[in-house]
Amino acid sequence: MKKYLFSIVGLFCFCGLLCAQECPPDVTATTAVVFKRHSNILPGCFSVAADKQVRFTKGNLQYNAAYKSWRFAEHQWTVIGNAAGNNTATGRATQDAWIDLFGWGTSGYDGTNGDPSAVNFQPYASTSARTGYATNPTGYGPSTDLITNSQSWSYRDETKNYDWGVYNFTTGEEAGVRTFTHSEWQYIINTRTNAHKLRGMATLFGRCGAILLPDDWSWATPAVAKAAAAAGFEFRSRYTVGSVVRYTNNIIEDTDVGHALWTAMEEAGAVFLPAAGYRAYGTAVTQVNEYILYWTSTTYTTLADQSHRVRFFGPNSDNDFAVGSYDPRYEGDAVRLVKDVTP
């Protein structure tokens, strides 16, 4: 009997030791959940200077006034367009609707104590139609008393809070996200190694936009190569096209193979900037799915009420990117934030 008892005890001890080595632990209320790294920060690294790289956030910035809440679009191709919130004339300050077109420097930071003229700082700020091209509403972002002559608001400590990312994302993986400067857009689009081979106009699941590829991109990456072959896709970059660029240069269909291709590309670091259009005067949203307009953090040199944006030209253009573009600060443009890569 003792022999059998010791055998049973030994069996339980052996199984316990085996389970301790190979069986998964019990899930409890305190079990740590590990999320995929860069869930809101895409993995691709893009040079914005000779010694500096950034990663893009996963989608365009969005804001809900009713909840005073910021978020990133669920997908890179997602835009709100000519819908409630973006185009509402009244109630914008309290409306339960997401918006993704913002006046320049409208992070929600109230700096009027030190910058009295910067009164249009709320994300939902939207001034009325102007009376002529010579009289543009002002009051957006830091005034010319604080920042002038093509400076970025990151140039001075008292103006950094006008940056949507700096002011609103201070914890977690999003801490440190910020807005591109004008010179950084110039570098990523025109100056970095193989810049012209790493960008192209595209249509992704029916949404017009532009594809940017990271510095170390290779179409020979196994997962990308396999998905591209299955979709019959061949990337046509600005270098490949040569002259007239169109959204039809790179079409990724809304099909199983199309989604598989974009998933592989996104996981390898590809960025898509959708044509979100813009809010021209007051609440008039226009050119959705035609023009791609993104704010920089940099003022325009000679016009105090205007700032630089990067403009991705619409269909059938002979210049796909106009980095030197600028517009009145009250215009509602899309915002895409980035995060510096830690050396």
Residue 12 per-residue DSSP state = H
* 177 or 125, greater pLDDT: 177
Structure-token match 């950034």, residue found: 54
Identify the band that residue 138 occupies on the pLDDT scale cut at 50, 70 and 90.
Answer: confident
CA-based nearest residue to 268, from 217, 233, 234: 217
288 has pLDDT over 80: yes
CA distances from 328 to 97, 105, 268 (A): 25, 12, 36
Any idea what DSSP says for residue 285?
E
Q: Average of pLDDT values for 154-168?
A: 94
Beta strand extents in the chain (DSSP E only): 46-49, 52-56, 61-64, 69-72, 98-99, 177-179, 199-204, 207-212, 251-252, 271-274, 278-279, 285-286, 292-299, 306-312, 321-322, 326-328, 337-340
Spatial distance between the Cα atoms of 285 and 82, rounded to a whole number of angstroms: 6
Mean pLDDT of 301-322: 68
pLDDT of 244 strictly over 90 = no
Whether pLDDT at 74 is above 90: yes
